[in-house]
């Protein structure tokens, strides 16, 4: 599992040109909730883990926060610098979060990760975040995940026969997750002993894609990036064919995110 995590998390560098365009924007209410729950204000110092091309960085930079971004992919980091060029308070650092150390005794008001927290080693990630936070600072993380409402587009289920054909199907026992039912990490946060849970909130939204937009999205997913070319070609050809048979040529994909906000426990504040 650890080897797969380390291997797959580096695949996104190959999608640097597509990531900003194809990945979904997170809903504004998520950022509003994050700001309210943490009490952060313009000028406060934020540390982002795995900023990619700046998808979550830009909305927070617009709110006036100073942000240090840690990104392991050099191409992703370069794209983030271009996308965030207008914000002098944002710094992009090429590094792995696990091994990066801030200069001097710098500490942050918020450490956050947007669809990146699950790539960090579970054995060390809470400790590393705790070490980088000031007294009373906060940790926040969320991910954009595929959820399927009862009234959702059946395309994902219908295309599974092709995934099975190329031996890339969903695991045995898989079932669709409904909006509002994504698993949360409340227990894991508490078990770390380093943070007190402040808020856990669900958000969901829907995006319509034509065939080429959807394939660009798939090209930013680690499993599809790592897929054998012949399998990917077969899958993508069938997606194009089936969407061309629809009157509008489009599909609807429903997204969900669980925002976790936790405060550094007072017992771990520096003496």
Query: How far, in Å, CA of 124 to CA of 37, rounded?
Result: 24
pLDDT at residue 15, rounded to an integer: 63
33 located within any domain: yes
State the alpha helices, DSSP H only, in 10-61: 16-22, 28-38, 57-61
- The larger pLDDT score, comparing residue 256 to residue 174, is at 256
Mean per-residue pLDDT of the chain: 92
Query: How far, in Å, CA of 164 to CA of 156, rounded?
Result: 12
232 located within any domain: no
Judged against a pLDDT cut of 80, whether residue 5 lies above it is answered with: no
Judged against a pLDDT cut of 80, whether residue 219 lies above it is answered with: yes
pTM: 0.90
Report, as an integer, the average pLDDT of 191-216: 97
pLDDT at residue 106, rounded to an integer: 81
Query: How far, in Å, CA of 196 to CA of 263, rounded?
Result: 5
Report, as an integer, the average pLDDT of 251-264: 98
172 located within any domain: no
Residues spanned by the domain of 184: 2-148+177-206+255-268
pLDDT digits (tens, 9 = 90+) for 88-124: 999 999 999 999 999 877 899 999 999 999 999 999 9
199 located within any domain: yes
Looking up residue 98, the CATH number of its domain turns out to be 3.40.50.150
Judged against a pLDDT cut of 90, whether residue 19 lies above it is answered with: no
pLDDT digits (tens, 9 = 90+) for 135-164: 999 999 999 999 999 999 999 999 999 999
Instruction: Please answer whether residues 116 and 144 qualify as being in contact, where contact means their C-beta atoms are separated by less than 8 angstroms.
Output: no
191 located within any domain: yes
Cβ neighbourhood burial of 247 (10 Å; 0-12, 13-18, 19+): exposed
Distance from CA of residue 118 to its chain's centroid? 8
Judged against a pLDDT cut of 50, whether residue 8 lies above it is answered with: no
Report, as an integer, the average pLDDT of 203-207: 97
pLDDT at residue 9, rounded to an integer: 45
82 located within any domain: yes
108 located within any domain: yes
**pLDDT above 70 covers what percent of the chain?**
93
Query: How far, in Å, CA of 227 to CA of 162, rounded?
Result: 14
Count of the separate structural domains present in the chain: 1
pLDDT at residue 18, rounded to an integer: 82
212 located within any domain: no
């Amino acid at each position: 599992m650890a080897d797969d995590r380390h291997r797959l998390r580096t695949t996104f560098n190959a999608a640097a040109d597509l990531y900003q365009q194809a990945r979904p924007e997170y809903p504004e209410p998520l950022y509003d909730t994050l700001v309210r729950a943490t009490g952060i204000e313009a000028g406060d110092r934020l540390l982002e883990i795995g900023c990619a091309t700046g998808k979550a960085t830009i909305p927070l930079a617009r709110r006036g926060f100073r942000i240090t971004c840690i990104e392991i992919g050099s191409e992703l980091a370069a794209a983030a610098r271009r996308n965030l060029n207008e914000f002098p308070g944002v710094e992009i650092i090429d590094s792995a979060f696990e091994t990066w150390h801030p200069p001097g005794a710098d500490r942050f008001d918020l450490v956050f990760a947007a669809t990146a927290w699950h790539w960090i080693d579970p054995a060390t990630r809470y400790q590393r975040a705790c070490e980088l936070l000031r007294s009373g600072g906060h940790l926040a993380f969320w991910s954009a995940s595929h959820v399927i409402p009862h009234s959702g587009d059946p395309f994902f289920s219908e295309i599974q026969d092709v995934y099975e054909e190329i031996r890339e199907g969903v695991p045995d026992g898989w079932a669709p997750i409904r909006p509002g039912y994504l698993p949360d990490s409340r227990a894991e946060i508490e078990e770390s002993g380093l943070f007190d849970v402040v808020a856990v909130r669900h958000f969901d939204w829907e995006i319509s894609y034509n065939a080429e937009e959807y394939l660009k999205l798939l090209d930013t997913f680690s499993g599809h990036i790592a897929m054998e070319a012949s399998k990917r070609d077969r899958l993508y050809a069938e997606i194009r064919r089936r969407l061309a048979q629809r009157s509008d040529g489009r599909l609807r994909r429903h997204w969900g995110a669980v925002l976790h906000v936790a405060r550094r426990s007072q017992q771990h504040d520096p003496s």
